[in-house]
Structure 1
Amino acid sequence: MPTEKRFKQQIQNGRMIEDESEMTEGYKKALKATLKVSADTELMSAPAYYEQSMNAPTLDARASCVSVIQDELGHGHIAYRLLEDLGEDREELIYEREPHEFRNTYGFDQHLDTFAELVSAHGMFDRAGMVLLSDIEENTSYAPWKRALRKVGKEEQFHLRHGETWMRRLSNKSDKTKGLVQDAVDWMFPMGIEWFGLPDDQKHNTDQLDYRIKGKTNDELRQEWMSHTVPLANDLGLDVPAHYDEEADEYVLEYDAPVAFDAENKDWRFEEPIGWDDVLDRWRDRGPANEKYVNLLQAGEIKVGV
């Protein structure tokens, strides 16, 4: 087995990895950490989406929402299956961890209280997931994950179309329903900004890039997400605290991220800037729906029939 330095050089030169026997310990550790976040995020989106899916306004909408949940459960199991190949126990990961031990992104620790929040999550959070996974599919050095993500990507496209279509319908239906979408976007947009992690100038662990588990930096991924969500909001007449700066040729925020978040009320306190260490602490403490959602999954209480 080559040294870590030599192995990273081989990876950067295009070497693909097929199984555990070809990995250094550093590569395996970085890959498993990334897979766990992906698996947990896909899995925990299912209970987050469940309640409001049952409150969908039409049977067709409910069928589409249920299809999204089924897809997300399947995507989670793909990542857990890959973790099994790396020595992890899938049953233990899903059913024997405590709620705070899950590593899903913080957005799926929040209660979704309206159908407008549900479809906005499809349109914005699923966009964030797709940005991340599309980058991994295109650039990853781990061949089994690259192949598995072809199916995932096609299904995520459906999630996005469903979410954005309903965001448009609700925004055009009445001032009241547009207001509900705006309320959802108010707390989801800044959460999407946080979704991609620390800014590049504060991220010291570069293993994901060095091992080519992903190809783009956090800030590059954040820009990619904003390049879709900001124009969508503008098109729907929704307010978001960001705009495209032609001179800088990038999307810029209209507040100094990160800022404090009142999780119980889903309210960003833009006048209270905080440090990224505070954000990491909030993520580790998990959000208000974390325990409820994990318990729903582990008890097998999510029924996805229409």
Structure 2
Amino acid sequence: MVAPALQSEEALLNRIRRQQLVESLEHMSPLYLEGIKRILTVSADTELISAPAYYHAAVHAPTLNAFGSAVAIIQDELGHAHIAYRLLRDLGVDTEQLIFERDPRQFKYPYAFDVPLDNWVELIVANAFYDRAGYVLLSDIYHSTTFGPWKRALVKVDKEETFHLRHGEQWMRRLNATPEGHEQLQKAVDWMFLLTVEWFGLPDDLKKHSEQLEYGFKGHTNDELRQIWMSTAVPLCEELQLRVPAHYDPEQQKYVLDCPFPAHFDAKAKRWLLEEGPCSWDDVLKRWKARGPANEEFVGLIQRGKREMLRLLEQE
């Protein structure tokens, strides 16, 4: 089958200026195709890896009903991953290879998911923080994207991500009702807050892929999305009297951090080494590239099924 011819850059930009959605390969330029595949891969990998990451903690749910809610969220995340991988397949990507044959370190999801969630409280804070980050990012894409198939698919995803973060908020309020629960929440927030601030990527002055805004893949910059996340995450923590290293500055009309950032992070101890002062974004990129302690385990859980199936076929 002959692959459809791509558009010239000028033809693509004219289409976008006319506010016409890009519906298929025939409407894309080579640069647009490269960019949309990149952002779809990040989205797909993030949704997929959240399943083993969340299940790792969901088994510690305090009740059967709570476990059922966690499993429902995991099911949603797998559905969201399927949407993004299906779109990639329609764009000519070998998703079988992408999912089951990639080296774990080549997956493109936020570093936060490489730090295992070891209990129910950490899962709840992940729903309130990580899923809030996902909601901010995907809502931005939903309202801004020029890629029609993804825009339509995100109607469902947007609503489900709202449920996930509300689940986290409600459980945080419930746990916060006791001194012990408050202390456990604070312990989780201490390491998970800054990891979610990191989630949005490099600051705008260091951002590499400027075409994301030009092509309408996103409507806001990384720093703007970080501000949108903090505008609801910080007030939630303040409501629960949970300490976070951030506050709203009326003069600057934005949220500012009260600690060194970016900073070194001890993933095994789940502790920020703030006493060492700030590090460079190059240091952060090295940490992200090296992946975290649960990377191989979580990707292995995803890839295990195919390996076992192939082993069984070889024995026949």
- Give CA deviations for 1:154-192 in whole Å, capped at 9, x if unaligned: 1111111111111111111x2222111111111111011
2:263 corresponds in structure 1 to 259
2:68 corresponds in structure 1 to 63
Answering whether residue 45 of structure 2 is matched by residue 45 of structure 1, we say no
* Cα contact 2:37–2:88 (8 A) shared by 1: yes
Letter in 1 for 2:122: E
Letter in 2 for 1:278: D
> Highest Rg: 1 or 2?
2
* Cα contact 2:246–2:258 (8 A) shared by 1: yes
2:244 corresponds in structure 1 to 240
- Taking the TM superposition and a 5 Å limit, the aligned residue runs for 1:40-189 are 40-172=45-177, 174-189=178-193
User: 1:10 deviation in Å?
Assistant: 4.1
* Cα contact 1:124–1:189 (8 A) shared by 2: yes
2:278 corresponds in structure 1 to 273
Partner SS, residue 234 of structure 2: helix
2:203 corresponds in structure 1 to 199
User: 1:223 deviation in Å?
Assistant: 0.4
Partner SS, residue 252 of structure 2: coil
1:229 corresponds in structure 2 to 233
User: 1:97 deviation in Å?
Assistant: 1.1
User: 1:8 deviation in Å?
Assistant: 3.4
- Structure 1 window deviating more from structure 2 (146-155 vs 87-96): it is 87-96
Counterpart-to-counterpart distance in 2, 1:54 and 1:263: 22
Answering whether residue 297 of structure 2 is matched by residue 295 of structure 1, we say no
Structure 1: give runs of 5+ residues left out of the alignment.
302-306
Q: TM-score, normalised by structure 2?
A: 0.92
Quick one: structure 1 residues 171 and 212, their matched pair in 2 at CA, closer, same or farther if it must change by over 3 Å? same
* Cα contact 1:227–1:251 (8 A) shared by 2: yes
User: 1:256 deviation in Å?
Assistant: 3.1
Letter in 1 for 2:185: V
Q: TM-score, normalised by structure 1?
A: 0.94
Q: 1:18 aligns with which of 23, 40, 43?
A: 23
* Cα contact 2:12–2:27 (8 A) shared by 1: no
Structure 2: give runs of 5+ residues left out of the alignment.
1-5, 307-316
Partner SS, residue 244 of structure 1: strand
Letter in 1 for 2:99: I
User: 1:121 deviation in Å?
Assistant: 0.1
CA RMSD of aligned residues (A): 1.5
1:304 corresponds in structure 2 to none
Counterpart-to-counterpart distance in 1, 2:103 and 2:11: 38
User: 1:7 deviation in Å?
Assistant: 3.1
* Cα contact 2:176–2:182 (8 A) shared by 1: yes
* Cα contact 2:7–2:30 (8 A) shared by 1: no
2:254 corresponds in structure 1 to 250
- Give CA deviations for 1:119-149 in whole Å, capped at 9, x if unaligned: 1000100000010000000000000000000
Quick one: structure 1 residues 206 and 49, their matched pair in 2 at CA, closer, same or farther if it must change by over 3 Å? same
2:218 corresponds in structure 1 to 214
Percent identical residues: 55
User: 1:9 deviation in Å?
Assistant: 5.4
* Cα contact 2:128–2:164 (8 A) shared by 1: yes
How many aligned positions are there? 300
- Give CA deviations for 1:200-246 in whole Å, capped at 9, x if unaligned: 12224301111111111001100000001000000011000000111
Counterpart-to-counterpart distance in 1, 2:272 and 2:304: 33
* Cα contact 2:7–2:27 (8 A) shared by 1: no
Partner SS, residue 251 of structure 1: strand
Counterpart-to-counterpart distance in 2, 1:182 and 1:9: 51
Counterpart-to-counterpart distance in 2, 1:145 and 1:265: 38
